[in-house]
Structure 1
Amino acid sequence: MSDPLKLASEFPSADYASWRKLAEDALKGAPFDKKLVTRARDGFSVQPIYTLDDQDDATRLIHEVLTATVEPRETVTGWDIRQLHTHPDPKATNAAILDDLENGATSITLKLDAAARQGREISSGEVGVDGIAIHCLADLKIALDDIYTNLATIGLDAGAAGVPAAALLAAHIASSDDADEAAPAFNIDPIGTLAATGALPCSAEDAIGHAASVACDLIDLFPLATAISVNGTPYYNAGATDGQELACLLASGVTYLRALTDAGMVVDQAAGEIVFNVAVGTDFFAGIAKLRALRMMWSRVLSASGAQDATISINAISAEMALTKVDPWVNMLRTTVTSFAAGLGGADSVTCLPYDHLIGLPDGFARRIARNTQLILQEESNVHRVIDPAGGSWFIENLTKELAQTAWGKFQSLEASGGILKALANGSLKSEIETVWQEREKRLATRRDPLTGVSEFPNIAEAKVQCDTPDLDAIQADAKSRQTKYDGTVGKDLASMMEAARAGATIGHIFTDLYGTSAATRISPLTPHRLSESFEALRKRADAHKSASGSFPQIFLANLGKVAQHTARATFARNFFEAGGIEAITSNGFDTADAAAKAFAESDAKIAVICGSDPQYGDMASDVAKALKSAGASMVYLAGHPGEARDSYEAAGIDEFIYVGADVLAICGAALDHLLGKRGEK
């Protein structure tokens, strides 16, 4: 009896050489390496296809190494769903936390306001700005009222005031039942703070040493806690490649590891007190590979340090650089990609930012979408049921290996040149990252790296997302009413700081007693960027004009012939200019230059774009351009590459050409200057 399930056995076997020949035939002479091989930002090549032959001893060992860095229990519980909270009012924050924890979130991060993060007193005008107004133990108790700290991890984002804020949180948790079962994430990170803000209240070395000393005391109180954070987001959001971020994470991690062991911890204990915060962008496979590469490289560091346990803690967070202010609904898709990549990459906890994170304070709906994104990923994909779920993919294994090797080389270079602190202080690291950002900007400007809803398919008429605007005056008044007078002097050890906090000392008071009132260390900080920022600057100018005049800056589409003849380029032109906030006035199409000129004059527009097919351009473009200029067009564009006809078109009055690969930012910026004036509404 013949086998009815032969399936693939009836097909001839495939091999790389045969596939390569078919691919080259399909390219019709175009170079294979240029069309199908991708050059990663870190410099290595990504092939279009991988086979078993691409696996070497190094790639075969990756999965084995990574499985040793993951706690098996995580395959049962899934990664930790962490929610970021920034509402300035502690009472509103408490309500939001309870809502999150009751509906799927498993931990939270409290971001303190700008005043607390810089160790300033409650009299500062920055109370409640860009974070929660938590300045004393009473504030923290309101924010964490009815929160079981032994069940939900409480994380801090406290900037330069990481140590005083940790003392407040430690005092709060220590007074609760089952405090020894709590697993807070104190996230003290002087290096990340220096990179992001350019300032520390003492020397970087002293700040790290003090953080390590306090970490020892914190872990004595809370054995399940993590005390030190290694934060890669300042580097990635400044434009760093994945390899550069990984190198900075390793260099910072090694610096903290040395400080913790110098403070008296054994290596395994010190490694357990460190958590890595990693930014994940929308390059899906790169995000997976980055987390896997970090696990592999940190395992190598720990092995070289004599550690017996290679376990690593990673919190992945949606990269702010990838989010947009315009068409923010697309951010739901972006954060789905970042969260899924984080889960596949083996993150222990994931922070999915709300879609309106950049616009203002997220409401309950935005927070719900953020946490449900992760819940659905866990429940529908079940990737958390597998240790290293991306393992075995020849592509991802090779991508992990290439990224790890590149990042390891950058890490060794950082160490050889004096370490992460020296690279930050002398500006060399900032310069390297800015160079990468400038190259990325060029790709964004020409839409080689497209941004959906921003540089591609923009919707300038979209309704704006409205966010809650809290009453800062009332919040500041409430904060002041909770303050109690504390005249004591605060010691540098954790017990003294906790005692002062219980007696009413504020973060500002503890900070001043520890460090004084002026920043002792100042450098040039890393400059944060977002991929959409330049396009949004153009859109902001256009929106300001609409607010003042009632309409957007406009451009007239002089469409030629029938709809089928001009639709492709008319659509291209519309998207091109609306990416810069310039509204396109469309038309059904014109058979003569005079008809196009007459419609243009009636539109009240100042500039026009000729849209049609190449044959039409040969027959009509010059005449249409002359007619448009005669009708008052101060600028005339042509949609399409002019090729050898550039000189004749320019002689006829065409000023600029828009085509695939043209600099959208430069052309739209010049058009806005022309329409609004160079100084107008920037």
Structure 2
Amino acid sequence: MSDPLKLASEFPSADYASWRKLAEEALKGAPFEKKLVTQTLDGFAVQPIYTNDDQDDATRLIHEVLNASVEPRETVTGWDIRQLHAHPDPKLTNAAILEDLENGATSITLKLDAAARQGREISSGEVGVDGVAIHCLADLQLTLDDVYTNLATIGLDAGAAGVPAAALLAAHIANAEGADEAAPAFNIDPIGTLAATGALPCNAEDAINHAASVACELIDLFPLATAISVNGAPYYNAGATDGQELACLLASGVTYLRALTDAGMAVDQAAGAMVFNVAIGTDFFAGIAKLRALRMMLSRVLSASGAQDATISINAVSAEMSLSKVDPWVNMLRTTVTSFAAGLGGADSVTCLPYDHLIGLPDGFARRIARNTQLILQEESNVHRVIDPAGGSWFIENLTKELAQTAWSKFQSLEAAGGIIKVLASGSLKSEIETVWQTREKRLATRRDPLTGVSEFPNIAEAKVKCDLPDLETIRAEAKARQTKYDGTVGKDLASMMEAARSGATIGHIFTDLYGTSAAARVAALTPHRLSESFEALRKRADTHKAKSGSFPQVFLANLGKVAQHTARATFARNFFEAGGIEAITNNGFEDADAAASAFANSGAKIAVICGSDPQYGEIAGNVARALKSAGATYVYLAGHPGEARADYEAAGIDEFIYVGADVLAICGTALDHLLGKRGEK
């Protein structure tokens, strides 16, 4: 008797060959490789389906390697929920930190202001710009008042002033209760700073060696700390592929590993002193695979270096490249994807950026959503309960392998070229990343890579998100009042810097004593990009015009016939033009050319787009175009690919065609130039 509980027992077993045959029949002659196989920017193919036959010895080993490189305790406690703080006022930042820690965040990152990050004094006009005004120990103590540094990790983002800022934080924590239990993330990173800003206060080799020397002292003082950050975000946010970011992370990590061991650390201790900061985009499966591939590659490096423990720390952060300024509410969905991928990929800590991160300073609601995104993933979805939850997925295992192999090859190329510093100095890496960005731009312009709320389903009438504007004048005055005069000379060792900080030395004073006042290392900095930036530029032009005139630039939809006949292309045309900030004036359709022309003349619009079905176009599109031009239309579009009828349509007065695969950015940019003038509202 057959087993009644065996599901689908009456059906024949499935196999790849049978599936492939059915898929090709459904394609009706269209090429399988073109329609169903995805080519990644890294140059390898992603198949539409994977089976156990796609497993090999390499993929079967991935899960085993990852199990050995992850702390089992994380399945109990979950990853570290890290919140970024950059409000210029230390008092308000302190209140926000306490609120975050009381409501689910487990650690924080303090981003110092532009003046402190560049080692400038409190008199600089950049005090309070793009970060917290922390310049002396008193500022830091105010910011971290009532924060138990032995319970919550305090991370720093201090740019070129990473060493002086680390001395301030070390001085603060060393005097606090439970200092030996503290696990601060000092995040000293001269390589990442050079890539992002193009400058260092001393030559790169000296900066790396000094960072390694100070790192040794920091780890001696705080054994649970991480001292060095290996940051991949500048590369990814400049447009790099996942493989390129991984290669840069690996090349930077190897450079720091050499410096730390040269400074006296054992390999295992040096690996533990570093944290790898990885930018996660909205390609969910690629995000998971990227973190898994990084662990696998670093395990190989550490094993080859003689390390007994291959455990490393990874902080994953939402990639700024993936966020948008327009329709920022969609950023909540984007950061949910990035945080989910980070959790499944095995990140030790995750920074989920607030949805309004690009617009201004986040309020309590934005920070709460960022916290709760991760809390729900942990407490309700239990994402952290399994080590390497993606292990065993035929697709993700193969994606991890392909990504690791691609990244390893790129890493070898970087090493053969002399290492990460040399390729930054030569500009070759910047050039490679810019080439990838140009490819991304083409895919975005044609909506091959769609952006929800930006290039697809835009809402030009959305309510704008407003963020608080800080009172920089008051913040600067209060910062000056906290300063005390320090006339001493600061030594290069950590103890001397900590003592100077306790005596009132500012970050700027320590920085100047260490490095002088002029940048000694300069390269062409990587240019940060966002996927939505070109669409945002068009939307900004349209918004500026609306602010001046009271209305958006407009296009009239000359819809033909009944709703069922024109609705598909009318909807397409509306999305197409509103992605560029041009409002679409729609209607229920017109039976003839004269009716369409009359309605156009009454609309006040200057341009029109004809929307209907192919049979309608063959019958009356030419007449409608001529009637629209007679009614004053200065530019006429047709929604749909013209095919062999292009010449006839153009002869009738149709100027341009919009269709799937057309360049939205170019066409909308030209339309705005036509409506506003080439220099209008730019």
Q: In the alignment, what sits opposite 1:68?
A: 68
Report SS of the residue matched to 2:432: helix
Q: In the alignment, what sits opposite 1:563?
A: 563
- How far apart, in 2, do the equivalents of 1:672 and 1:662 lie? 17
Q: Does 1:503 align with 2:492?
A: no
- How far apart, in 2, do the equivalents of 1:48 and 1:610 lie? 37
Q: Report the number of matched residues.
A: 682
- How far apart, in 2, do the equivalents of 1:159 and 1:340 lie? 28
Q: In the alignment, what sits opposite 1:118?
A: 118
Q: In the alignment, what sits opposite 1:416?
A: 416
- How far apart, in 2, do the equivalents of 1:18 and 1:613 lie? 37
- How far apart, in 2, do the equivalents of 1:297 and 1:2 lie? 48
Report SS of the residue matched to 1:317: strand
Q: In the alignment, what sits opposite 2:52?
A: 52
- How far apart, in 2, do the equivalents of 1:498 and 1:102 lie? 30
Counterparts in 2 of 1:228-267, with a 5 A limit? 228-267=228-267
- How far apart, in 1, do the equivalents of 2:289 and 2:198 lie? 30
Report SS of the residue matched to 2:8: helix
Q: Deviations over 1:118-176 (max 9, x none)?
A: 00000000000000000000000000000000000000000000000000000000001
Q: What letter is aligned with 1:86? A: A
Counterparts in 2 of 1:312-323, with a 5 A limit? 312-323=312-323
- How far apart, in 2, do the equivalents of 1:489 and 1:670 lie? 60
Q: In the alignment, what sits opposite 2:488?
A: 488
Q: In the alignment, what sits opposite 2:173?
A: 173
Q: Report the CA distance between 1:674 and its aligned residue.
A: 0.3
- Normalization by structure 1: what TM-score? 1.00
Q: Does 1:220 align with 2:237?
A: no
Q: In the alignment, what sits opposite 1:446?
A: 446
Q: Does 1:538 align with 2:538?
A: yes
Q: What letter is aligned with 1:294? A: L
Q: Does 1:277 align with 2:296?
A: no
- How far apart, in 1, do the equivalents of 2:312 and 2:565 lie? 59
- How far apart, in 2, do the equivalents of 1:421 and 1:4 lie? 65
Q: What letter is aligned with 2:15? A: D
Q: In the alignment, what sits opposite 2:15?
A: 15
- Normalization by structure 2: what TM-score? 1.00
Counterparts in 2 of 1:26-425, with a 5 A limit? 26-425=26-425
- How far apart, in 1, do the equivalents of 2:338 and 2:612 lie? 40
- How far apart, in 2, do the equivalents of 1:449 and 1:376 lie? 29
Q: Deviations over 1:400-457 (max 9, x none)?
A: 0000000000000000110000000000000000000000100000000000000000
Q: Deviations over 1:79-125 (max 9, x none)?
A: 00000000000000000000000000000000000000000000000
- How far apart, in 2, do the equivalents of 1:321 and 1:389 lie? 27
- How far apart, in 2, do the equivalents of 1:421 and 1:466 lie? 40
Q: Which runs of 5+ in 2 are unaligned?
A: none
- How far apart, in 2, do the equivalents of 1:22 and 1:624 lie? 44
Q: What letter is aligned with 1:85? A: H
- How far apart, in 2, do the equivalents of 1:322 and 1:509 lie? 37
Q: In the alignment, what sits opposite 2:606?
A: 606
- How far apart, in 1, do the equivalents of 2:177 and 2:656 lie? 71
Q: Report the CA distance between 1:379 and its aligned residue.
A: 1.5
Q: In the alignment, what sits opposite 1:576?
A: 576
Q: Report the CA distance between 1:10 and its aligned residue.
A: 2.6
Q: Deviations over 1:638-676 (max 9, x none)?
A: 000001110010001000000000000000000000000
Q: Report the CA distance between 1:382 and its aligned residue.
A: 1.1
Report SS of the residue matched to 1:9: coil
- How far apart, in 1, do the equivalents of 2:194 and 2:145 lie? 32
Report SS of the residue matched to 2:466: coil
Q: What letter is aligned with 2:202? A: C
- How far apart, in 1, do the equivalents of 2:548 and 2:410 lie? 50
Report SS of the residue matched to 2:186: strand
Q: What letter is aligned with 2:410? A: K
Q: In the alignment, what sits opposite 2:653?
A: 653
- How far apart, in 1, do the equivalents of 2:319 and 2:278 lie? 9
Q: Report the CA distance between 1:11 and its aligned residue.
A: 2.1
- How far apart, in 2, do the equivalents of 1:245 and 1:279 lie? 9
- How far apart, in 2, do the equivalents of 1:166 and 1:603 lie? 63
Q: What letter is aligned with 2:534? A: S
Counterparts in 2 of 1:547-558, with a 5 A limit? 547-558=547-558
Q: Report the CA distance between 1:239 and its aligned residue.
A: 0.2
Q: What letter is aligned with 1:635? A: Y
Report SS of the residue matched to 1:679: coil
Q: In the alignment, what sits opposite 1:426?
A: 426
Q: Deviations over 1:544-603 (max 9, x none)?
A: 000010100011111111111111111100000000000011111111111111111111
- How far apart, in 2, do the equivalents of 1:8 and 1:561 lie? 49
Q: Report the CA distance between 1:310 and its aligned residue.
A: 0.3
- How far apart, in 2, do the equivalents of 1:545 and 1:534 lie? 17
- How far apart, in 2, do the equivalents of 1:568 and 1:2 lie? 51
Report SS of the residue matched to 1:411: helix
Q: What letter is aligned with 1:638? A: L
Q: Report the CA distance between 1:2 and its aligned residue.
A: 5.4
Q: In the alignment, what sits opposite 2:636?
A: 636
Aligned Cα root-mean-square deviation (Å) = 0.6
- How far apart, in 1, do the equivalents of 2:626 and 2:2 lie? 76
Q: Deviations over 1:237-286 (max 9, x none)?
A: 00000000000000000000000000011111111100000000000000
Report SS of the residue matched to 1:528: coil
Report SS of the residue matched to 1:529: coil
Q: Which runs of 5+ in 1 are unaligned?
A: none
- How far apart, in 2, do the equivalents of 1:561 and 1:13 lie? 50
Q: In the alignment, what sits opposite 1:585?
A: 585
Report SS of the residue matched to 1:610: strand
Q: In the alignment, what sits opposite 1:513?
A: 513
Q: In the alignment, what sits opposite 1:466?
A: 466
Q: Report the CA distance between 1:371 and its aligned residue.
A: 0.5
